[in-house]
Amino acid sequence: MNRQALAFLTLFSLILMLSVYYVTIPADDMSVSTKEHNSEPLTTSKQETSETLQESADEKKDQQLSEESATLSDEAASEEDKKEALETMDAIKDTKKTETKIKEALQKSGFESVVEIEDEVCSVSIFHSEDNKENAKIVLKQVYDIVGQQYFVEVTFKSE
């Protein structure tokens, strides 16, 4: 193997490893904090943050739905691909319904939350609430009443 090919493979491997690392690190949307100097209460910015996070999760699911819909409408796609796309769309819609049920149940209990179900994990982020065992028990009970043992439930209390 000549030097140019070796250099190319080395650089390509390095770039590939770095891109895989970048994709796999967890995204922490709460890591960047900005201080506001106006007289608005902090609750407004927290509420906007939770709404923004929920909208982001919903947009991701909507994008998946549109991709699967494109597969369904593609004439070149095989029947098997179309069947798979239809099953995926049904699963995404069921997941969105479950997320909405959980969010509504937690809202009735007085918790502002962001709910995202992905890969057998139900992630629930709670805002405006004290991080203690009692609140965690209440949230877990509410979520398990809806999802049962179908998902691994992960509860996080967010505060600024």
What would the pLDDT profile of 36-95 be if each residue is shown by its tens digit? 333 333 344 445 576 777 787 778 888 887 887 787 777 777 888 888 888 888 888 888
Name which residue leads in pLDDT, 159 or 124.
Answer: 124
- The total number of residues shown for the chain amounts to 160
What does the alpha-carbon distance between residue 142 and residue 103 come to, in Å, rounded to a whole number? 10
What does the alpha-carbon distance between residue 109 and residue 103 come to, in Å, rounded to a whole number? 10
DSSP state of 88: H
Distance, CA of 67 to chain centre = 17
What does the alpha-carbon distance between residue 101 and residue 34 come to, in Å, rounded to a whole number? 32
The pLDDT of residue 28 is 52
pLDDT digits 0-9 by tens, 94-122: 888 988 899 889 889 888 888 888 888 88
Write down the domain spans for the chain: 44-158
Of the candidates 121, 125, 123, which has an alpha carbon nearest to the alpha carbon of residue 112? 125
The pLDDT of residue 112 is 87
Is 1.10.287.4300 the CATH classification of the domain at 44-158? yes
The pLDDT of residue 31 is 42
pLDDT digits 0-9 by tens, 10-42: 988 989 888 888 888 876 544 443 333 333 333
The pLDDT of residue 34 is 35
The contacts of residue 86 (CB under 8 Å, 6+ apart) are 68, 72
pLDDT digits 0-9 by tens, 127-151: 878 888 888 888 999 999 998 888 8
